[in-house]
Amino acid sequence: MIDIGDPDGGTVSRFDIVARPDPQTLARLINHFAQRALIPSIVEAREANGMMQVAIEQPGLSVHEAGIVADKMRNSWLVEEVSLRCGNVRQIPLSEAVIDRAA
C-alpha cells in the first residue's frame, strides 16, 4: 500500500465511492466537505456498468474526521459502498470485513 501525503507532510484521505447514478450524487458527496469549509484537492467521477465510481481526496483530515465523513456518506441512500484510505491506513468496506470473518 502506498503512503500518500500532502506536500506539507500531512495525510491525505482518499474516499473511493460506488454510488447510484443520479444528478444529486456528486453534490451530496461534496456537501460533506463543504459543511466543514473544506475543498477537496481531487474529485474524479465516472459512470460504468450502471453505477458511479467516485474518488475524492482531501488533505488535512485526521483519521477520526475522515471516518466520520465516510460514515455520513454511507448513510446516503445513493451510496452503495465507501472505502477510505488515510495515509497508509485503509478502512475496508463492511461487506469485505464480513466476508473475511466468515472465511
- Please give the residue that has the higher pLDDT: either 103 or 33: 33
User: Would 45 be classed as within a structural domain?
Assistant: yes
Q: What digits encode the pLDDT tens for the residues 43-82?
A: 999 999 999 999 999 999 999 999 999 999 999 999 999 9
Q: What digits encode the pLDDT tens for the residues 19-48?
A: 999 999 999 999 999 999 999 999 999 999
67: containing domain: 12-87
Question: HEC string of 22-85?
Answer: CCCHHHHHHHHHHCCCCCCCEEEEEEECCEEEEEEEEECCCHHHHHHHHHHHHCCCCEEEEEEE
Q: What is the pLDDT of residue 102?
A: 44
Q: State the pLDDT confidence band at 87, using cuts at 50, 70 and 90.
A: confident
User: Would 92 be classed as within a structural domain?
Assistant: no
User: Would 96 be classed as within a structural domain?
Assistant: no
Q: State the pLDDT confidence band at 11, using cuts at 50, 70 and 90.
A: confident
